[in-house]
Structure 1
Amino acid sequence: MHFSAAQDLTTRALQQVGRVIQPQNTMAVLAGIQLQAENGRLLLSATDLSSHIAAEIPCDVQEPGSVVLPGSTLTELIQRLPTATFDLTSDPNTGRSTIRYGRNKAIINGYGQELLPTFPMLEDTQARLELPTGTLGTLSRQLLFAVSREDSRPILKGVYVKLGTGRLVFVSTDGTRLSHSWLPIPDYRGPQKEVVLPHKFFSEGARLNQNNPVTLTLGTGLVELTAPGTTFTTRLLEGQFPDYDRVIPQEFIAECRVSIADLRGSLERVNLLAAKDHSTPVAVHLEDGTIDLSTQTADIGQAQETVEAQTHGQALDILFNPTYILDALKALEGDEALLQFSGIQSPAKIMDAEGAQYFHVLLPLRQMI
């Protein structure tokens, strides 16, 4: 194999595909990035066996071929080249590759004739739709903090997606909190689908979707995300996602409308004490025109703050994990939040006061009554 390519384009492509490589791999070749040069293009790809990412850039191909080179070494070398272009020649038998730049050269030992394991491609298309620029970044901020980190229920480590006529619904939960968001898709006429996407689909997709619209394609067992020059494919999670509708409260005994900045500031200061001990709750007292927040720990001390708010309904005292409330507030986009309470032992609902397409449901901490 022999080709010449631009240093800046290759660096960006290497950084894109290298994100799928895991720090530890069961197969040595999975730490590599595959380069395939043919027909005036260079295709770069990497996989961790559950996901696959490929990026394509133009190049000058003198001799077509493929090679797998150590991903981190190759990326760091190309990134540091002082020239605008470089020339790469690879021995097809040993994988040993020579990179020439100006009067200089570097030699990287590849994986011989071994290529990356074949990743299944999307052969059938069950649903396809376009997502505007920035959509997956917003969804990542709204959903990923509520995804479970525990291995005991693997299905909760993903995001449930329901695709139907006119609406695309997303739900994440770890069993104690739940995030729900939806997008209007008025032009979609395809089949209804229910799938669970791995959380890395959103984190990787947010990067691809940051400056460009993307195409989302669902198939059997796979989901594909396509941006200009890049394709990300990952396996869907298998299993039954819990019936989340039953935990979303529909009736409320109290609610308040409050400045997000004011409430966040107070919670962050109160949380300075509570955060030292993850079992320390924040006590929320709601009454006419105010929200009182307080916490105390035996070793550190106590904090108490009052935030002005528009309140309706019953006065109540309720305990929450302060970090969980802060996570929910950070996902909101407006200036004011609407907090709705269904009882001191029942879920609360947090959303933008202007009724956006996102809300968060949070269980209070158990308390003696």
Structure 2
Amino acid sequence: MRLSCQQEDLQRALGYVSRAVSRKSTLPVLGNVLLSAEGGRLKLAATNLEIAITAWADATVEEEGTITVRSDLLTEFVASLPNDSVSIELDRRTLSVAVSCARSKAHIKGIGAEDFPTLASIGDTEPTARIDPAEFREAIGQVAFAAATDDSRPVLAGVLAEFEGASLTLAAADGFRLSVRRCDLVEPSRESLSIVVPARALQELARIIGDLEEPIDLAVTPNRSQLLVRAGSIEFLSRLIDGHFPDVRHIIPQTYGTRMVVSRDEFLAAARRAKLFAQSNNDVVRIQMNPGDGELDPGFATISAQAAETGDNEDHLEAQVEGPQAHIAFNGRYLTEVLSVMRSNEVALEMTSPNAAGVFKPVGSDDFTHVIMPMVIGT
């Protein structure tokens, strides 16, 4: 293998694939990045067996070849080089890679590519759907945080992705809350199917597609074991979770007794202040909804928290309250997290009783729904 490429192109590609490098594996090759000179480009890939990332860098290839080298060492060395042409040459006899740029040169010991796992490519699979990267990234941000963080029930550590017609619905739940977001696809899905993707994998994918503008391709392997994503010059692969995800349609309450509409920014600020005091009292944040006397007095909401050791606080917010006076309490972290990911100017909170789930929705849009189980407290 012998090639040359620009330092900034190589550094960018290494930045992408290094996200998939295994940090704790007992297999040394999983701590390496695969370098493969083929088809007039340099292909880089890394995997931790949960996810895999492949990226390509433009290169002048004089001799094709492939090798794996330590990801951290190569990434940091390339990052320290000047923005100039980088030459890479493999000594097949010693499995050593010579990397040189300007007046700097290094030899990095490698491991043969035959020990590196074989990765599926979206080029081998017909794309299932196409989606706008900005909308997909926002949807992931509004859903993945609600997934369980432990593996006691593996399916709840994942995000349900349902492809149907021209829409993709993402849902995540951890037993205490549920987040659901519907997205429009650029092109209708080739088939209707449901898969469960690890939440951590989707969060990593969201970081990768952050600055992309062109639609990205999503593909599910025929055996339903992997999700493949093609985003520009990057391919992302994630294993899928095998299991039955709860029916989210049965979890979301369809009716309510009291509904309030309030400014998202004011609600979030008040919730954050209450959370400061709630930390010493099991994170209990109370919400009271008070209806008004008519159009000139639509009502108000009180957000409060108290703890014997730290004190208490109370915020009064202007709100449009429909229905009888009601109160409910939520975990302060759950409350601030959902309000942080909502993008509308106003949000609606719907409830039936203090012991039943509360439903959060953006006002003016029906593509996002979040359900939180209340904290049962005394009156």
SS in 2 for 1:110: strand
Taking a change above 3 Å as real, the CA distance of residues 189 and 163 of structure 1, as seen in their structure-2 partners, is closer
Question: 1:40 matched to which residue of 2?
Answer: 40
- Larger displacement relative to structure 2 (103-112 or 74-83): 103-112
Which 5+ residue runs of structure 2 have no aligned equivalent? 292-298
Are the equivalent residues in 1 in contact too, given 2:122–2:235 (CA < 8 A)?
no
The 3-state SS of whatever aligns with 2:20 is coil
d(CA) in 2 for partners of 1:169 and 1:180? Answer: 7
Match of 2:156 in 1: 156
**Matched positions, count:** 368
Deviation of 1:142 (Å)? 0.5
Distance 1:323 1:2 in 2: 53
One-letter amino acid of the structure 2 residue matched with residue 249 of structure 1: P
Cα distance per residue 1:174-193 (max 9 Å; x no partner): 01100011123485262210
> Aligned residue for 1:280?
283
Q: Is contact 1:94-1:113 (8 Å) kept?
A: no
What is the identity, as a one-letter code, of the residue corresponding to 1:272? L
Deviations 1:246-299 (A, max 9, x none): 22001101000101111111111111111345x130121111211112211122
Which residue type is aligned with residue 227 of structure 1?
A
- Whether the 8 Å contact between 1:86 and 1:101 is mirrored in structure 2 is yes
Distance in 1 separating the partners of 2:114 and 2:164:
43
Map 1:106-255 onto structure 2 (within 5 A). 106-112=106-112, 115-121=115-121, 125=125, 128-185=128-185, 187-188=187-188, 190-210=190-210, 211-212=212-213, 213-219=215-221, 220=223, 221-255=225-259
SS of the aligned residue for 1:109 comes to: strand
- Render the CA deviation track for 1:130-188: whole Å, top value 9, x for unaligned: 11131222012201110100211010111111111232211110011000111234852
* Alignment partner, residue 365 of structure 1: 375
Distance 1:84 1:276 in 2: 55
Deviation, structure 1 residue 232: 0.8
Letter paired with 1:280: D
Deviates more, 1:161-170 or 1:62-71: 161-170
Shift of the 217–112 alpha-carbon distance from structure 1 to 2, 3 Å rule, reads closer
CA distance in 2, matches of 1:197, 1:112: 31
Q: Does the CA contact (< 8 Å) of 1:93 and 1:113 recur in 2?
A: no
What is the TM-score when the length of structure 2 is the normalising length? Answer: 0.92
Change (3 A) 1:127 1:45: closer
Residue 70 of structure 1 is matched in structure 2 by 70
Report the CA distance between 1:50 and its aligned residue. Answer: 2.2
- How big is the shift at 1:53? 1.3
Partner of 2:375: helix, strand, or coil? coil
Q: Which aligned segments of 4 or more residues in structure 1 are displaced greater than 6 angstroms?
A: none
Give the superposition deviation at 1:128.
1.6
Q: Hey, what does 1:322 align to over in structure 2?
A: 332
Question: How large is the RMSD of aligned CA atoms in angstroms?
Answer: 1.9
Preserved CA contact (<8 Å) 2:350 2:358: yes
State the Cα distance separating 1:112 from its structure 2 match. Answer: 4.8
Cα separation, partners in 2 of 1:134 and 1:186, compared to 1, 3 Å = closer
Alignment partners' CA distance in 2, 1:77 and 1:65: 21
Partners of 1:61 and 1:123 lie apart in 2 by 22
Amino acid at match of 1:340: E
Answer whether contact 2:131 2:185 (CA < 8 A) is retained. no
Mapped to 2, the partners of 1:187 and 1:28 lie a distance apart of 41
Q: Do the aligned partners of 1:293 and 1:306 also contact (CA within 8 Å) in 2?
A: yes
Change in Cα spacing, 1:193 to 1:125, as seen in structure 2 (3 Å) is farther
- Supply the distance in 1 between the matched residues of 2:103 and 2:166 (Cα, whole angstroms): 59
Match in the other structure for 1:268 = 272
Name structure 1 gaps, 5 residues minimum.
none
